[in-house]
Amino acid sequence: MPKRKALITLISSKQAKEGFTFLHKGSAPKCQECKYFHVCVKNLELGRVYKVVGLREKRMQCELTDTDMMVVEVVESEIETAILSKQAIEGAVILFQTRECGMENCEDFELCSPKGLLNGDRCEIVKINGNLECPREFPLARVVLRRVQAS
Query: Reduced to 3 states, what is the DSSP secondary structure of residue 67?
Result: strand
Question: Given strand 93-95, what is the order of strands in its sheet?
Answer: 79-84, 140-147, 122-132, 93-95
pLDDT surpassing 70 at residue 22: yes
Tell me the per-residue pLDDT of 110-145, one tens digit each, with 9 for 90 and over: 999 999 999 999 999 999 999 999 998 999 999 999
Q: Give the strand pairing for 79-84 and 67-76.
A: unpaired
Please answer whether residues 102 and 31 qualify as being in contact, where contact means their C-beta atoms are separated by less than 8 angstroms: no
- The pLDDT value recorded for residue 96 is 96
* pLDDT of 56 above 90: yes
User: What's the start-to-end Cα distance of the chain, in Å?
Assistant: 16
**Distance (Å, whole) CA 10 – CA 67:** 11
pTM of the model: 0.89
- 48: nearest Cα among 115, 126, 95, 119: 115
Instruction: Return the C-alpha torsion angle 8, 13, 16, 20, nearest 10.
Output: -120
Sign of the C-alpha dihedral, residues 61, 67, 70, 75? negative
pLDDT computed for residue 11 by the predictor: 95
The sign one gets for the Cα dihedral 150, 112, 79, 11 is positive
Instruction: Give 3's DSSP letter.
Output: P
Higher-confidence position of 1 and 30: 30
